[in-house]
């Protein structure tokens, strides 16, 4: 006879395998804010890589910008796995001028707010107000399978030489870019078809960040891509950045702007009682 606790573990594990989107509601990780507004480029490639790792290692929320650039040494085996924890970037994301074919695994990134733009002046390749830049890269892959929103600003994807970046051409950016436009040059390479797992819903078919099953782009047809993880027919509050567990502003998986101490997501920190924003949190004044 199977012991009840063992049976529970088996059923629980099966639920997670069937619906991985439930995982964020079941395991709330420790949040780590990292404040990175400027990037220093070191002439020594080892110093440059180690500085990049020091800035972003373990971060879940980047209050500032995420810049991955000038990884140019073929003598270094760049391990960018430390980027996997990042879920939110308040400013812009710039991935450019990388010669080494490392994989950029932003596999948990959900929101790029666009509060700052990449190189506001002058325009890059004729495009200004850039919130997401992927250009002049030889990466094997840039993976952002959970990216749900670029809140403001434009997207520029251009001059990427790696044929493996052809999957960026398959992404339906209209589900991600809220207010800006997408400027991209098509990759000359022809990608193998997306995994058959991407055919489970019509809106997923042919859209993926890579060949593996878990790299499908999975936009929602309801609620402007902000639906409850528990019930896709329930729309999230408009202060939720991505998913939620219900319609209340206290049930957001991630806040669009700020969060009160009671867990409610708000557009600004209230004046009464007086609070100060610290990262995404509203902290009462003592």
CATH of the domain at 232: 2.10.220.10
Q: Where among 151, 170, 190 does a domain terminate?
A: 190
Domain range enclosing 227: 220-286
Tokens 């995994």 belong to which residue? 195
- Let me know if residue 263 belongs to a domain: yes
pLDDT exceeds cutoff 80 at 5: no
pLDDT exceeds cutoff 60 at 23: no
Helix (H, G, I), strand (E, B) or coil at 57: coil
- Let me know if residue 13 belongs to a domain: no
Judge contact between 113 and 147, C-beta under 8 A. no
Q: Do 65 and 184 share a domain, yes or no?
A: yes
* Overall domain count for the chain: 2
CA distances in angstroms from 94 to 64, 69, 142, 218, 268, listed in the order given:
12, 7, 12, 23, 27
Q: Do 120 and 262 share a domain, yes or no?
A: no
What is the pLDDT at residue 156? 94
- Nearest-angstrom CA–CA distance, 129 and 114: 9
- Let me know if residue 282 belongs to a domain: yes
Q: Do 87 and 45 share a domain, yes or no?
A: yes
- Let me know if residue 39 belongs to a domain: yes
Q: Do 53 and 156 share a domain, yes or no?
A: yes
Model confidence pLDDT, tens digit, residues 35-69: 998 888 888 999 999 999 999 999 999 999 999 99
Q: Where among 140, 171, 190 does a domain terminate?
A: 190
- Nearest-angstrom CA–CA distance, 144 and 156: 15
Model confidence pLDDT, tens digit, residues 98-126: 987 778 999 999 889 999 999 755 666 67
pLDDT exceeds cutoff 70 at 189: no
Tokens 């027919």 belong to which residue? 233
pTM of the model: 0.75
CATH no. for residue 57? 3.80.20.20
**How confident is residue 21, by pLDDT bands cut at 50, 70 and 90?**
very low
What the block records as the tokens of 260 is: 């009160």
- Nearest-angstrom CA–CA distance, 162 and 27: 36
């Amino acid at each position: 006879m199977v012991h009840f606790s063992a049976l529970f573990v088996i059923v629980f594990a099966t639920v997670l395998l069937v619906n991985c989107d439930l995982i964020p509601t079941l395991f709330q990780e420790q949040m780590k804010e990292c404040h990175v507004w400027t990037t220093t480029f070191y002439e020594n490639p080892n110093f440059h890589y180690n500085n990049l790792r020091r800035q972003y290692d373990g971060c879940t929320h980047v209050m500032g910008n995420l810049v991955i650039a000038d990884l140019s040494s073929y003598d270094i085996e760049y391990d960018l796995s430390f980027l996997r924890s990042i879920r939110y970037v308040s400013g812009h994301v710039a991935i450019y001028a990388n010669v080494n074919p490392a994989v950029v695994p932003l596999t948990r990134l959900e929101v790029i707010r666009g509060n700052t733009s990449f190189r506001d002046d002058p325009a890059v390749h004729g495009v200004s107000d850039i919130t997401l830049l992927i250009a002049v890269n030889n990466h094997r892959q840039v993976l952002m399978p959970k990216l749900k929103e670029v809140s403001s600003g434009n997207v520029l994807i251009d001059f990427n030489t790696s044929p493996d970046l052809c999957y960026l051409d398959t992404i339906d950016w209209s589900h991600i870019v809220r207010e800006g436009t997408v400027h991209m040059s098509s990759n000359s390479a022809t990608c193998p078809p997306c995994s058959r797992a991407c055919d489970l819903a019509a809106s997923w078919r042919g859209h993926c960040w890579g060949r593996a099953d878990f790299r499908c782009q999975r936009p929602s047809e309801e609620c402007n891509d902000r639906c409850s993880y528990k019930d896709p027919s329930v729309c999230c509050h408009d202060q939720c950045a991505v998913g939620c567990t219900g319609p209340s502003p206290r049930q957001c998986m991630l806040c669009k702007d700020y969060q009160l101490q009671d867990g409610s997501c708000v557009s600004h920190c209230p004046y009464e009682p007086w609070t100060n924003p610290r990262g995404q949190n509203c902290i009462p004044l003592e």
